[in-house]
Structure 1
Amino acid sequence: MDIELPRDEPIRFNRLRQKVYFYEFRFDRIHIFSRKKWGVRPVAYDWQDLIAEACSVYAPMGNGGVVEKVLIAVRKPGTDEIIDRLFFTHNIEDGKRYWEIIRLFMQQGPDALPTFDRPPRDWDNDFELTPIRRLAPRVQWPEAIDRESRTGPTAGEPT
């Protein structure tokens, strides 16, 4: 049986604050019934502390062969020590494209982004999803993180 991370792990990029907000899904393969080691944890990191990592692992499971994915690694400020890794995408080529788009946005703003043929998908109102996915709980950011991730810093407020 293949076990993968859930699809809905939104990421918010706030260019004005130079922060990135993750709705991180935590899991523990050893303590599979633990309520403390499983669940959602919203976290925020400074943009300058993030790097993308591509990795491939041989996984002799249902899909067999090599499993490739891209993770976002969080460095401890001022060092190269990795303090957290967050899932980004299952495909290295998609990961490269997405990471370049994100870098353009964070460094130059929305005017630097390419024009897209199709609008972004609205996961909350997409009727192509299976009934099980439609019954899944909606993303609920904590009030303080929701407000901070949607706004820029006010005068005198540290970023």
Structure 2
Amino acid sequence: MKVDTAPPRDQPLRFNRARKRIYAYNFNYRWWNPFERWRVEPVAYDWSQVRAERWLKRGATGNGVVIKGGVVLSIVKPGTNEVIDRFPLTTMGADAHAWAYICTYMQQGPDALPPPGPAKDHNDVGMNIALLLAPKVEWPADMDLESRTAP
């Protein structure tokens, strides 16, 4: 039950071009320790620390081979390639396209991109019972303001 209701409804990422920062709604958990309190830690990093890593996992089932992949944003320690944090960007779907879109936005601005789709409400989970019981996405007030404004 904890696995279904402890994680937040979504784990959004925000990109602030004016501040050259990325903001993540980072959910920390250890599946093997049911007694540890799982919690959300909103974090912010400089854009210069962000790297993208593509992953691909193959497995066999009774019905054949299963291939799953995606893109993870890795945060590196400044001046090194040592990864200090990771956030899922996508699973399957338009992973390379999403990374290219983000890079273009951060480097050239919104005028270099096609208009985005409608904004997503990260707390709108439809009729998914487990997600309706999960905690709502609530950014800390100071981080919410900083991630939406220019310096």
Q: TM-score range by the shorter chain?
A: 0.7 to 0.9
State whether structure 2 residue 77 is matched by structure 1 residue 76.
Answer: yes
Percent sequence identity over aligned pairs = 43
Q: Distance in 2 between matches of 1:61 and 1:28?
A: 26
1:3-32 residue CA offsets vs partner (Å, 9 max, x unmatched): 897661111111111000000111112213
Corresponding residue SS for 2:145:
helix
Q: Distance in 2 between matches of 1:65 and 1:131?
A: 25
The aligned runs of 1:30-49 (5 Å cut-off) are 30-35=32-37, 38-49=38-49
Corresponding residue SS for 1:114:
coil
Normalising by structure 2, what TM-score? 0.81
- Cα shift at 1:142: 1.1
Go from structure 1 to structure 2 and tell me whether the alpha carbon gap of 1:34 and 1:95 turns closer, same or farther (over 3 Å shift): same
- Cα shift at 1:114: 1.0
- Cα shift at 1:119: 2.7
Q: Distance in 1 between matches of 2:62 and 2:119?
A: 31
Q: Distance in 1 between matches of 2:133 and 2:8?
A: 14
Q: Which residue does 2:107 correspond to in 1?
A: 107
Go from structure 1 to structure 2 and tell me whether the alpha carbon gap of 1:134 and 1:30 turns closer, same or farther (over 3 Å shift): closer
- Cα shift at 1:60: 5.6
Q: Aligned partner of 2:137: which letter?
A: V
Q: Distance in 2 between matches of 1:15 and 1:105?
A: 7
The number of equivalent residue pairs is 145
State whether structure 2 residue 52 is matched by structure 1 residue 52.
Answer: yes
1:25-84 residue CA offsets vs partner (Å, 9 max, x unmatched): 11112213311xx22110101111101111122356799723212110111101111111
Corresponding residue SS for 1:65:
strand
CA RMSD of aligned residues (A): 2.7
Q: Which residue does 1:24 correspond to in 2?
A: 26
Normalising by structure 1, what TM-score? 0.77
- Cα shift at 1:143: 1.7
Q: Which residue does 1:10 correspond to in 2?
A: 12
* Larger relative strand fraction: 2
Q: Aligned partner of 1:55: which letter?
A: W
- Cα shift at 1:115: 3.1
Go from structure 1 to structure 2 and tell me whether the alpha carbon gap of 1:142 and 1:59 turns closer, same or farther (over 3 Å shift): farther
Q: Distance in 1 between matches of 2:17 and 2:11?
A: 19
